[in-house]
């Protein structure tokens, strides 16, 4: 059975309703199709939502312990299929094998493990003076996830939804569907009750919009571009459902004068280039003291020059391709714009790296002497492009860092933790990282402004899938 041509609805794999439509899935390392995936329709959305609605009554009343045990079984099955997930992510979105193994798949494992801990200690009920407060599952959740960190976004939605007692319909990105297929098999293997988890492949205008508009969907959790997020919110507004969004970013990285410049710039450049720059929280705007600008540019250019770019399955590759021809063209256009607008090109630039043809490979690119009004300093590029912006005073750097429609993440480098926290409180961003700390699935993740609303990860993610009920009298 070729389940890439099927959907997972009400606990079983089935063909889409009506005429079978498929979409080629492109290997970004070659630029050629390697498989096809079935595309669902509005009728398939209706069937999946009906299954989720039918399952909600029972599942929402299940015990917290039973849901924790279910999450443990999912975690065990996830770990059993770890290698299959690594292969899927590398093939469908071009992540180098080591990145896929150590980060792309690992973060999904971490989210599941964290939610097992959270749900057992979370207070769903509390007694107050004269009344009780009960937190209950919001209902049927539509989940629309992107291609850039596919398992991160699937697990940080599915895990808290299950912990809350919600049922769900997942629409993964049609560009990178195979990790979601493996994940659906994991859910089936773990014994998730029929109808609790459903998977419908499809594009945004067809399946995504049908989910957002559906009257029996109580919540939409969307991760993707700000443009698409606005569209989802408008469609969902007619049925007054909850809309949770994690959208774009243009994160600032302020390097203060007392920081170790070599370390701060080197780590900042690597954080920008990670995942070929395809991370919404990537620190793509680096603010450095004006008197050390040229030195910072040389350091960052040196980092870029050392990175091996190539196909996901090649040994030693650090940066794979970007995900698609459309993404490649967008990044090239913005690099060209940076050159034309007068930024100093210190590394990388237009075209593919030498010796690489066919795939969507981009040279890790560093621009110096970037001014805040340039497009490369304002638009989310979603590619391995670093903009270095000189500043004179810390107050000016802070003002320019906040001068963006986005507010997902921010970064500060300094030897003075008190000063760092003072600045962090003034940054309009959902998460502020000081001196490149280790990633933690317990830390709330989400944005201010046009980077979205609501939070994901740990107990903060669980909150999003719950309604609060007051019970008075008796």
- For 49-89, write each residue's pLDDT tens digit: 999 999 999 999 999 999 999 999 999 999 999 999 999 99
How far is CA 366 from each of CA 254, 278, 373, 378, rounded to the nearest angstrom?
16, 16, 17, 15
Run of H or E residues at 24? strand 21-27
Asked whether the beta carbons of 386 and 255 are under 8 A apart, the reply is no
User: If you ran DSSP here, which 8-state letter would residue 216 be given?
Assistant: T
156 is catalytic: no
pLDDT for 132-189, tens place per residue?
Answer: 999 999 999 999 999 999 999 999 999 999 999 999 999 999 999 999 999 999 999 9
- Residue 404: the pLDDT is 98
pLDDT for 116-146, tens place per residue?
Answer: 999 999 999 999 999 999 999 999 999 999 9
pTM: 0.97
Q: Domain 252-441, what fold?
A: Aldehyde Dehydrogenase; Chain A, domain 2 (3.40.309)
Among candidate residues 156, 272, 280, 379, the one labeled active-site is: 280
Q: Exposure pattern of 37-67 as b/e (b: 16+ CB <10 Å)?
A: bbbbbbebbebbbbbbbebbeebbeeebeeb
Q: Of how many residues is the chain composed?
A: 474
Distance, CA of 86 to CA of 312 (rounded, Å): 11
- With vertex at residue 265, the alpha carbon angle to CA 225 and CA 379, rounded to the nearest 5 degrees, is 25
246 is catalytic: yes
- Residue 4: the pLDDT is 87
CATH class for the domain made up of 3-247+451-472:
alpha beta
| Ranges for all domains in the chain classified under CATH 3.40.309.10 | 252-441
| Ranges for all domains in the chain classified under CATH 3.40.605.10 | 3-247+451-472
Given a cut of 70, the residues of the chain with pLDDT beneath it are 1
Among candidate residues 87, 92, 246, 459, the one labeled active-site is: 246
- Residue 1: the pLDDT is 54
- Residue 474: the pLDDT is 80
The pairing of strands 131-137 and 466-472 is: antiparallel
């Amino acid at each position: 059975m070729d389940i890439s041509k099927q959907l997972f609805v009400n606990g079983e794999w089935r063909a889409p309703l009506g005429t079978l439509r498929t979409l080629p899935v492109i290997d970004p390392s070659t630029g050629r199709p390697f498989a096809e995936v079935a595309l669902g329709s509005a009728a398939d959305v209706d069937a999946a939502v009906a299954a989720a609605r039918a399952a909600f009554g029972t599942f929402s009343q299940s015990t917290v312990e039973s849901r924790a045990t279910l999450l443990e079984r999912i975690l065990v099955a996830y770990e059993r299929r770890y290698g299959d997930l690594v292969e899927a992510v590398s093939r469908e979105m071009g992540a180098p094998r080591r990145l896929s193994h150590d980060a792309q798949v690992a973060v999904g494992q971490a989210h599941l493990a964290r939610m097992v801990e959270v749900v057992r200690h979370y207070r769903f009920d509390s007694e107050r003076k004269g009344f009780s407060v009960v937190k209950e599952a919001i209902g049927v959740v539509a989940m629309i996830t992107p291609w850039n960190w596919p398992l991160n976004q699937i697990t940080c939605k599915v895990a808290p939804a299950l912990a809350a007692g919600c049922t769900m319909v997942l629409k993964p990105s049609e560009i990178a569907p195979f990790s979601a297929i493996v994940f659906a098999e994991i859910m089936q293997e773990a014994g998730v009750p029929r109808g609790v988890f459903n998977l419908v492949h499809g594009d945004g205008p067809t399946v995504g919009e049908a989910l957002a508009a559906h009257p029996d969907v109580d919540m939409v959790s969307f991760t993707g571009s700000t443009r698409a997020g606005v569209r989802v919110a408008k469609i969902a507004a007619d049925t007054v459902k909850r809309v949770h969004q994690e959208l774009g970013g243009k994160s600032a990285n302020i390097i203060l004068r007392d920081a170790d410049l070599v370390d701060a710039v080197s780590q900042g450049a690597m954080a920008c280039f990670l995942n070929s720059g395809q991370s919404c929280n990537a620190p793509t705007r680096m603010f450095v003291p004006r008197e050390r600008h040229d030195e910072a540019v040389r350091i960052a250019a040196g980092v870029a020059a050392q990175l091996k770019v190539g196909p996901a399955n090649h040994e030693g590759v650090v940066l794979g391709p970007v995900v698609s021809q459309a993404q490649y063209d967008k990044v090239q256009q913005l690099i060209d714009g940076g050159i034309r607008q007068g930024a100093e090109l210190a590394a990388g630039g237009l075209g593919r790296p030498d010796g690489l043809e066919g795939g969507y490979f981009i040279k890790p690119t560093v621009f110096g002497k970037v001014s805040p009004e340039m497009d490369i300093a304002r638009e989310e590029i979603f590619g391995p492009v670093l903009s270095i912006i000189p500043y004179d005073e810390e107050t000016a750097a802070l003002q320019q860092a906040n001068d963006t429609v986005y507010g997902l993440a921010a970064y500060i480098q300094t030897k003075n933790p008190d000063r760092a926290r003072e600045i962090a409180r003034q940054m309009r961003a959902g998460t502020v990282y000081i001196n490149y700390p280790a990633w933690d699935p317990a830390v709330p993740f989400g944005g201010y402004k046009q980077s979205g609303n609501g939070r994901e990860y740990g107990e903060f993610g669980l909150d999003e899938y719950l309604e609060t009920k007051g019970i008075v009298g008796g």
